Structure 1
Amino acid sequence: MNYLIETRGLSKRYGAAMRVKNLHMAVPEGAIYGFLGPNGAGKSTTLKMLLGLVHPTNGEITVFGRAMNAKNRLEILRNTGSLIESPSCYGHLTGAENLRILQMLRRVPERAIEEALALVRLDGQKDKKVAQYSLGMKQRLGLAAALLTHPRLLILDEPTNGLDPAGIQEMRELICDLPRQFGMTVVVSSHLLSEIDQMATHVGIIADGALVYQDTIERLHEKSEHHLALRTNRDDAAMEVLAKNGIACEARDGFVLLPPLEDEAAAHCVRLLTAAQIGVIRLEERRKNLEDIFLDLTEGANSL
């Protein structure tokens, strides 16, 4: 697999506090990589190191197959767009005028302004003063600035922060379209698993500065526990009957837990218990959701 970003032993210390610890990050080319973790976990510090805005205490960063250093940093960043924290704009200028400043600095054709504004659906508001923009419009203008050069790599730090549900959905749709339309690789950080789940192809979870999980979003879904929970009027007797019939079960929190069963197999269990004069009070399907997995990982800082 081709990785657009790789880090090896990446660490950052501020005084006595180690904010990022021995991070081994691998972002496949063409992926939407969700960088997930609670507030203060080290997400922004990591992304700033990837952009050369913060110097690592230890470790290496490889971008586009090249080890980033002081000599080639600017060359690498020419193919990188970013939106870190909240976008900075001149409120007294229009959206188009703000982008024109960046267009001249980045030395890209003027048509790139119209293309970027259309891409983030701000072309109808381009002549409006940015001071009159809503928060969502300012976020989209910041994304347009990051897209001005049609970069190979786009790094976004909490791009949905402060947006209303409609703004979040719009930003999510924009991000999801970028790899399909332009072949971009996107790294997007968030503290909300539900957001990452709806747009990412790969995910890295960071807790207390350490990477506790990294793989595809599908593999994370596979970690969710799926079982049947059974409550009877005689759980001990029920477990004995089920075990004698070769059905694995265990007691937990007042329920008898069974493996995932097809409907007919579940009905067979109920018939076995009824025949043994054990009353079935409740049978329910349970699945450990992604939020539970995320909390287990980040609160306990344990790797899967």
Structure 2
Amino acid sequence: MANLIETKGLCKSYGGTLRVKDLHMAVPEGSIYGFLGPNGAGKSTTLKMILGLAHPTGGEIDVFGKRMNEKNRLDILQHIGSLIESPSYYGHLTGEENLKILQTLRNVPEDNIREALDIVRLTSQKDKKVAHYSLGMKQRLGLAAALLAHPRLLILDEPTNGLDPAGIQEMRELICDLPRRFGMTVVVSSHLLSEIDQMATHVGVIADGALVYQNTIERLHEKSEHHLAMRTLNNAMAQSILTHHGVANEVRDGEIILPPLEDAKIAQCVTLLADSSIGVTRIEERRKNLEDIFLELTEGAASL
């Protein structure tokens, strides 16, 4: 799978402080790439550099196999849609009139307006003044503007920010549908772990300006350290018996931690302890969730 975006050693310094540090980012074509990190980690700065809105202090950016520079920037941006921070609009105009201005500026067919409104489910509200739109409707109008020119690449910076649960779900469904329906590649940044988990096929985790993880979302979940937790009425004796019979274990926070075991092996362990008159009060299967993994990767620096 080819990469639509590749950065090599990307850096950005503000006031002598590196905000983005030696970033090697790879976004596969056709993916939904979740760019995950705490607030202030460098997500927006990175996306602005990819769009040519901020000049890198060092490093290289390739988009569609072309180097992002002053010579290629406009040609590259013709095939990118973006929504960075909050959407801009004319409140005294309707949703359709706002898109009409952008359609004229971008010189795309007028039919694209109808199609974009349909994609973001604003057709019934197209004649309403944007000043009277809800926050969720304004976000959807911003997404419609980003989709107007049928981009190959869509870059969304915190698109669910400030939305209520219903608005978050609606935006998530819209984003998940884009690669399947239109073959788009989507980069979506967020500090909401559950959102990235439900949307992304690939993920990059940034902390303090540095990329600390990059791979598929499935590989991230594989870091979950699946284990069993057992409680007994005599942990010291239970641990001694299990160790004697070759069952790996350790005591942690008043529980005996066991590796993943098949049902027959678990039953055997319980029988061993029962035969020694040690009551087993609880056995639980546990797995770290995405939030635990994220906090470990970012060394607790998240702003959740």
Query: TM class by shorter-chain length?
Result: over 0.9
Report the AA paired with residue 171 of structure 1: M
What residue number does 2:67 align with? Answer: 67
Give the root-mean-square deviation of aligned CA atoms.
1.0
What residue number does 1:269 align with? Answer: 269
What residue number does 1:7 align with? Answer: 7
Give the total of aligned pairs.
301
Partner SS, residue 53 of structure 2 = coil
What residue number does 1:99 align with? Answer: 99
Report the AA paired with residue 121 of structure 2: R
Q: Is 1:25 the counterpart of 2:25 in the alignment?
A: yes
d(CA) in 1 for partners of 2:171 and 2:96? Answer: 19
Show CA shifts across 1:43-91 (max 9, x none): 0000000000000000000000111110010000000000000000000
1:233 Cα deviation after fit: 2.5
TM-score (norm 2): 0.97
1:300 Cα deviation after fit: 4.8
> Runs of 5+ in structure 1 lacking a partner?
none
What residue number does 1:120 align with? Answer: 120
Name which of structure 1's ranges 10-19 and 78-87 shifts more when overlaid on structure 2.
Answer: 10-19
Q: Is 1:196 the counterpart of 2:196 in the alignment?
A: yes
d(CA) in 2 for partners of 1:143 and 1:14? Answer: 30
Partner SS, residue 223 of structure 1 = helix
What residue number does 1:159 align with? Answer: 159
Partner SS, residue 55 of structure 2 = coil
After superposition, residues 1-304 of structure 1 pair within 5 angstroms as 1-300=1-300
d(CA) in 2 for partners of 1:203 and 1:241? Answer: 43
Report the AA paired with residue 212 of structure 1: V
TM-score (norm 1): 0.97
Name which of structure 1's ranges 108-117 and 255-264 shifts more when overlaid on structure 2.
Answer: 255-264
d(CA) in 2 for partners of 1:237 and 1:149? Answer: 69
Name which of structure 1's ranges 226-235 and 74-83 shifts more when overlaid on structure 2.
Answer: 226-235
The structure 1 segments of at least 4 consecutive aligned residues displaced by more than 6 Å after TM superposition are: none
d(CA) in 1 for partners of 2:226 and 2:143? Answer: 39
Partner SS, residue 74 of structure 1 = helix
> Runs of 5+ in structure 2 lacking a partner?
none
d(CA) in 1 for partners of 2:241 and 2:169? Answer: 50
1:285 Cα deviation after fit: 1.6
